[in-house]
Structure 1
Amino acid sequence: MIFERLFAPLRTKNLTLKNRIIMTAFQTNFAKDGKAGARFREFYWKRAEGGAALLIVGGARFDRYGAAGHDFLSIENDSFLPELQLFTAGVHQRGAKTAIQLYHAGRYTKEKNLPAGEKALAPSAVYSTYTREVAKEASVEELQEVIRRWAEGADRAKRAGFDAVEIVGSAGYLISQFLSPLTNQRTDQYGGSWENRTRFPLEVLAAVRKAVGPDFPILFRIAGNDFMPGSNTNREAVAFARLLEAAGVDMISVTGGWHETRVPQLPGEVPPGCFAYLAAAVKEAVSVPVVVSNRINDPVVAEEILAMEQADCIGMSRTLVADPDWPRKTACGQLSAIRPCVACNQGCLANTFFGRPVCCLANGEAGYEDEVELPPAEHPKKLLVVGGGPAGLEAALRLAQKGHQVTLWEAGDHLGGHLPVAAAPPGKGDFLHLLTYWEHMLRENGVQVETGRRAEESAILAGGFDGVVLATGSQPRTIPLPAEAGSLPIYMAEEVLSGKRIPGKRVVIVGGGAVGCETAEFLARQGALSPEQLYFLAIHRAEQPEVLAEKLDHSAREIAIVEVAPKIGSGFDPGCGWPVLDDLKRLGVTQYPSSQITKISSDTVSLVQQVDGTEVLRELPCDALVLSVGYVADQELYHRLEGKLPVYLLGDASKPRRVLDAVHEAVLLAARL
């Protein structure tokens, strides 16, 4: 396929982009003490080498109120310029342009990250469900100080060698807060009417323009729809975009809703290109270039958006975290070689909740570019990898790319380990793209793959291998249950998610971790209206909207989750589990935390639940019991081989964890060998 639009150049003011691919700003936590140090530089330089036209870094704080954490990029004063100048020069040497996002979170800044006794600044003192705090209503004098500092940051960015600046007015940050009647309840010149609510953002823009001059490009990132009841919609976004163009903005970047919205913006539940319609409405209203973003990781989807004139540029960040060479591979037609973002948000979004550096489930090298080296092996070895799950697949690929002679044995009839099971729940289908990528790349790099090959000690020792990587994975854990003879069937969650077992109408799931919750969602969705059924019924106007809504929110299955711990859903990475938990509530899945099963008969599960210190006895009608109580590492072969030749234990075989951990460990192992 020829991507003629995606790789067409674009010019705005004195900024020329070689293609339409823009890496949008997102928090990495790589900027130790606010500086663009080695980790920060190498991460972005790798993406510049990969072919993106414009890298927007940040957000970058420009005052003490606007952003949180010591590892948040800063442009507060001139002391940060040397590292920034080194960074921008490196980007230019690698053939890309770069902008910096000037960031102010407003009420999204947490008090713990501010100087003692100070509060975050906001249009009004309105409680935030994101921070669970109430910010301070900023005085007019404080707002003027913020505007002044914003302009100073822009001037500093120009002196640092950036090609443009971006003002962030999206995601529920300070400018969004001024625009929204939910958070702006002021009665002065900055609140009330639409004209007053847009005053502060336009004053910020005017000050930045004055600071950088008439020819320096200014980008503005806006929310295409706040997705907050009672707040701004796409209609207001379009009206604001018109004001921005009239005030001299050179490019408008359109994203989705606020951090507080209950409409998912980034996870796999979001269909690819789902929010392109938001950018399309803005593009129809303005003549400056418009950037579309959120869940665009497929080159075909990107080209289609441009072909339909829904946007002028494609914004992506996590896609380029997963594969910095996405632009180059796309331009060369090497689509099967693209390492896909699977929209898990585990290494990116989840890490930012704790101020941890970003990493990536699909790319174990991401975030470690300054310390992980994978040069060709000086002395290539003959290596065996046992196990075709994520750890084994990634290890085999990385070792082969270094020049080792690699053979992979998988006991089952297909590769992937637990990956197909992980891909079964709603919103997790992109995990299969990662498996397809590995299968393609193993062939391309000459790895000898043998499925249906059980690894026997004698065969390994007789194989003449210089070393063995054991990625034998893990097995589902079982627990003793008080089941009567002839009682109801008991399945493992893995059997259900793989389609091997289909439970009946009434299902009790034992275990309320991530897998247990996803299994409940998987089964509940089977009993509700499917996307295909909804589309068919909707386009033929077969039912009234309220009937379709009722069928969407109701499952024919009766599902219960039983968990011994006080909380259900605690196994998810931060910020990743709420769409699943919302789905469970919507579909009527009952939850019994702090509960212990006491009896299992042919059609009933009996349990005792602790409720406010009181034991409550419950009887749950049940056709099948599903166990989701964790995994146990498979180390049998490791103990037989240990000491007889170099053996490396990897992934779940070492300790059951996430795919993210397995992939990163595989990269570290390949770097050592």
Structure 2
Amino acid sequence: MYKYPYMFSGFQINGMHLKNRIVMAPMGTFSENRNGSPNAKQIEYYRARARGGVGMVLLEGQYTTNKTDPWIDYVTIAGTDEQMQGWALLAEACHAEGAKICLQLSCGLGRNAFPFSDDQMVSASEVPSFYMPDKLCRALTIDEVHDIVEHYRIAARNAVRAEADAVEIHAHAGYMIDQFITPAWNKRTDEYGGSFENRMRLLTEIYHAIRGEVGPGYPVLIRLAAAHDFPEGRTIEETIEIVQYLEKLGIDAFDIDMGCYERKQWIVPSIYAGEACMVDYAAKIKEAVHVPVLSAGTFTPETAEQALADGKCDIVMFGRQLIADPDMPNKLLEGQEEDVRPCLYCNQICVGRLYENRVISCAINAQAVFEADYPIVKTASPKKVAVVGGGPGGMEAARVAALQGHQVTLYEKSGALGGQINAAEKPVFKRRLKKFNQWQQLQLEKAGVQVCLNHEINADSPELAEAERIIVALGAVPAVPPIPGIDGPGVVNVIDAHLNPSLVKGQNIVVCGGGASGCDCALELAMEGRSVTIIEMMDELAPGMIIDNRNPLMFRLEDYHVKGLTGTKISRIEGGAVYASGRDGAEIRIDADTVITAFGMKPLNAPANEIRDRYAPITTVVGDCGKVAQIGEAVREGFFAAWSIH
């Protein structure tokens, strides 16, 4: 009946029935009010995902107390009726759209807290703060531990009053409760440290406090990492001992992920993790218990269905994919899979903004968390809109303008849409870019955008004189620094290397430039079996990447034996070699069969500025031709440029 029969089969967790096996994973949005209460923006965000067809929304972490963790002292509603009232609003919004809601209950981040405060962090013991390892955390007192338990009791009572359908204990990723469970962070010598029983005592007391309030038929879940993925962390065998203990205790389902902040690569898995990256770990837990297991981590619809069919898990969870497209479940159910906007797992806006203490959104869905702010509405005053440039920013502008009822023509000087994506999508680990490129082009067709390929536009083009609004998205071209030999034989820029792999000859490859594009190219070639060296003038490779992307990239480069020469300045390229000087100033020679240059991009701002200057009142410049950045900036600027044409 359905293409995905396992995903769209019903399921039971204790006394709660789900209409399908698709759950929205819990992800912080920083969209709540300052005191921790939900506002209209956050409610609409969750309502949209419930309306999109998930079986259950697993709410982002809800703090049970603000007394234990200095970073969350602003959550003044914790443990109050006001918090319960906010949960009730969220529950009703989800219920009204046919979805269940589960509250993820947290007592804080402990040593993992963001460094937004100078106050001393707290933990199970006096261990280093993750972000500030030169500062020790303060160990929680016995009274503070008892207070945590009591506040979980209050939260459980309030969850029932708010008509939430389930609660989940937040105990993963090395956060506060995990810091009690794990010997690497628990050095206590009292009844909450030492033996397995003692380290589990806090969690045991929390469970009993919750169960005493919600009763036997109410689902109580827990989120745990299958393993911590660092030498001193918890192993899969130790986690199996924990889940078997918790199953006997009465836990109704296990939400299993991987990792912690040490060797951080699993909290929000990047493109380098591959698809369905954590399901095999969930499968090991499922083999050890007799209650349902939920799994998250870079699922596609196909890999999620396969995981259920293979019995690796009972419920599949989608997080960032539902930020990118809240309607994914309904589109799959209704046979409109080609219309699902594919998440890029780029972490640019949904994660990057967390480090800036900002409300998140999405690199390719500017409406995410701002659903009520930026609705796409048919205009009563349609206009002729010319979009110049068919990269991701230009295509998004054309799509949105057309959906708002404008007459849109997109001009692209090359023979294909996609811009730099056509090169960037080539590595196997960046296949999501290819899917997004295809999605954008299909949406242009469905929206009725007139696309003119091999059609170059400049300020003198008569087509612009006929337009009522102009959006310029000309993109950028590779930067070529004045290095002797850079235009010689055997030297290829990174764009051409991706588009025409035959230009990359031989076994020994030198990549000049260790930014993200250079590192990605190096990894792609190393995965093919080439011997690759990256030369970078800065002190580290890919210095501009957030840790959640940079760590796994560095790990993969290490796995494939890519050599990185940092703090190294290139002087010339000649005779099948790159000559450079290291930190000591001495010249070194690196032999190469092919040299690939990856010195970044420079904006095509001159022609863009000419158009803008000629048609200033009606022109908006977006994307790399204004300022070189990542794909998220181009797509989001394209969205807003078109959305503002009311």
TM-score in same-fold range (> 0.5): yes
Query: Which runs of structure 2 are paired with 1:44-83 in the superposition (5 Å)?
Result: 44-64=46-66, 65-66=68-69, 68=71, 75-83=78-86
Partner of 2:583: 610
2:6–2:308 CA contact under 8 A, matched in 1: yes
2:63–2:75 CA contact under 8 A, matched in 1: yes
How many residues were matched structurally?
A: 637
Partner of 1:553: none
- Match of 1:35, as an amino acid? S
- Match of 1:341, as an amino acid? C
- Match of 1:619, as an amino acid? R
1:101 counterpart (82, 94, 104) = 104
1:557 counterpart (517, 531, 534) = 531
1:8 aligns with 2:22: no
- Match of 2:337, as an amino acid? L
Distance 1:283 1:73 in 2: 38
- Which whole-Å deviations, capped at 9, do the CAs of 1:432-487 have from their partners, x for residues lacking one? 11011112222222222232222355554378433222211111111111349x96
Q: Which 10-residue stretch deviates more, 591-600 or 472-481?
A: 591-600
- Match of 2:136, as an amino acid? V
- Which whole-Å deviations, capped at 9, do the CAs of 1:606-631 have from their partners, x for residues lacking one? 323335xxx33323333443322222
Distance 1:111 1:337 in 2: 37
Query: Which runs of structure 2 are paired with 1:654-673 in the superposition (5 Å)?
Result: 654-673=626-645
Query: Which runs of structure 2 are paired with 1:77-226 in the superposition (5 Å)?
Result: 77-110=80-113, 112=115, 116=119, 118-122=120-124, 124-127=125-128, 129=130, 131-132=132-133, 133-226=135-228
Tell me the secondary structure at the aligned position of residue 475 of structure 1.
Answer: strand
Q: Which 10-residue stretch deviates more, 188-197 or 569-578?
A: 188-197
- Match of 1:625, as an amino acid? V
- Which whole-Å deviations, capped at 9, do the CAs of 1:576-629 have from their partners, x for residues lacking one? 112222333444434343433334332333323335xxx333233334433222
In structure 2, the CA distance between the partners of 1:72 and 1:580, relative to structure 1 (3 Å rule), is: farther
1:31–1:71 CA contact under 8 A, matched in 2: no
Partner of 1:628: 598
- Which whole-Å deviations, capped at 9, do the CAs of 1:291-341 have from their partners, x for residues lacking one? 111111x22222222222222211111110010001110110110000011
Tell me the secondary structure at the aligned position of residue 101 of structure 2.
Answer: strand
Distance 1:107 1:488 in 2: 56
Unaligned runs of 5+ in 2: none
Partner of 2:619: 647
1:604–1:622 CA contact under 8 A, matched in 2: yes
1:593 aligns with 2:566: yes
| TM-score of the pair, normalised by structure 1 | 0.88
Query: Which runs of structure 2 are paired with 1:61-460 in the superposition (5 Å)?
Result: 61-64=63-66, 65-66=68-69, 68=71, 75-110=78-113, 112=115, 116=119, 118-122=120-124, 124-127=125-128, 129=130, 131-132=132-133, 133-261=135-263, 264=266, 266-296=269-299, 298-425=300-427, 427-455=429-457, 459-460=461-462
In structure 2, the CA distance between the partners of 1:299 and 1:112, relative to structure 1 (3 Å rule), is: closer
In structure 2, the CA distance between the partners of 1:460 and 1:652, relative to structure 1 (3 Å rule), is: farther
- Match of 1:663, as an amino acid? V
- Match of 1:659, as an amino acid? I
- Match of 1:591, as an amino acid? G
- Which whole-Å deviations, capped at 9, do the CAs of 1:241-271 have from their partners, x for residues lacking one? 2332322222221112222246646111223
Distance 2:55 2:634 in 1: 32
Partner of 1:550: none
- Match of 2:172, as an amino acid? S
Tell me the secondary structure at the aligned position of residue 273 of structure 1.
Answer: coil
> Percent of aligned pairs with the same residue?
29
- Match of 1:3, as an amino acid? Y
Root-mean-square deviation (CA, aligned residues, Å) is 2.7
Tell me the secondary structure at the aligned position of residue 271 of structure 2.
Answer: coil
Q: Which 10-residue stretch deviates more, 143-152 or 68-77?
A: 68-77
Distance 2:76 2:258 in 1: 23
Distance 1:115 1:62 in 2: 22
- Which whole-Å deviations, capped at 9, do the CAs of 1:388-416 have from their partners, x for residues lacking one? 11001111111121222222222222221
1:520–1:561 CA contact under 8 A, matched in 2: no
1:568 aligns with 2:538: no
- Match of 2:497, as an amino acid? V
Distance 2:251 2:140 in 1: 26
Query: Cα distance, 1:572 vs. partner?
Result: 1.5
Distance 2:180 2:284 in 1: 22
Distance 2:440 2:350 in 1: 21
In structure 2, the CA distance between the partners of 1:286 and 1:410, relative to structure 1 (3 Å rule), is: same
Tell me the secondary structure at the aligned position of residue 311 of structure 1.
Answer: coil
In structure 2, the CA distance between the partners of 1:522 and 1:13, relative to structure 1 (3 Å rule), is: closer
1:66–1:103 CA contact under 8 A, matched in 2: no
Distance 1:376 1:249 in 2: 49
In structure 2, the CA distance between the partners of 1:262 and 1:86, relative to structure 1 (3 Å rule), is: closer
1:280–1:311 CA contact under 8 A, matched in 2: yes
| TM-score of the pair, normalised by structure 2 | 0.91
Unaligned runs of 5+ in 1: 528-555
Partner of 1:531: none
Partner of 1:547: none
Distance 1:512 1:270 in 2: 20
- Which whole-Å deviations, capped at 9, do the CAs of 1:155-190 have from their partners, x for residues lacking one? 233333322211012112223233323223334433
In structure 2, the CA distance between the partners of 1:659 and 1:487, relative to structure 1 (3 Å rule), is: closer
- Which whole-Å deviations, capped at 9, do the CAs of 1:509-531 have from their partners, x for residues lacking one? 3322222222222233332xxxx
In structure 2, the CA distance between the partners of 1:371 and 1:519, relative to structure 1 (3 Å rule), is: same
Partner of 2:554: 581
Query: Which runs of structure 2 are paired with 1:482-521 in the superposition (5 Å)?
Result: 482-483=484-485, 489-500=490-501, 501-521=503-523
Distance 1:322 1:111 in 2: 25
Query: Cα distance, 1:418 vs. partner?
Result: 0.6
Distance 2:342 2:432 in 1: 8
Query: Cα distance, 1:574 vs. partner?
Result: 4.0
2:112–2:175 CA contact under 8 A, matched in 1: no
Distance 1:40 1:387 in 2: 35
Distance 1:385 1:114 in 2: 45
Distance 1:339 1:53 in 2: 20
In structure 2, the CA distance between the partners of 1:328 and 1:346, relative to structure 1 (3 Å rule), is: same
In structure 2, the CA distance between the partners of 1:487 and 1:381, relative to structure 1 (3 Å rule), is: closer
- Which whole-Å deviations, capped at 9, do the CAs of 1:100-143 have from their partners, x for residues lacking one? 11113454344855684x43121x33335555243233333332
In structure 2, the CA distance between the partners of 1:592 and 1:11, relative to structure 1 (3 Å rule), is: closer
- Match of 1:370, as an amino acid? A
Distance 2:51 2:497 in 1: 44
In structure 2, the CA distance between the partners of 1:361 and 1:600, relative to structure 1 (3 Å rule), is: same
Distance 2:81 2:116 in 1: 22
1:487–1:603 CA contact under 8 A, matched in 2: no
Partner of 1:549: none
Distance 1:360 1:77 in 2: 32
In structure 2, the CA distance between the partners of 1:15 and 1:114, relative to structure 1 (3 Å rule), is: farther
Tell me the secondary structure at the aligned position of residue 127 of structure 1.
Answer: coil
1:29–1:72 CA contact under 8 A, matched in 2: no
Distance 1:560 1:342 in 2: 25
In structure 2, the CA distance between the partners of 1:382 and 1:60, relative to structure 1 (3 Å rule), is: same
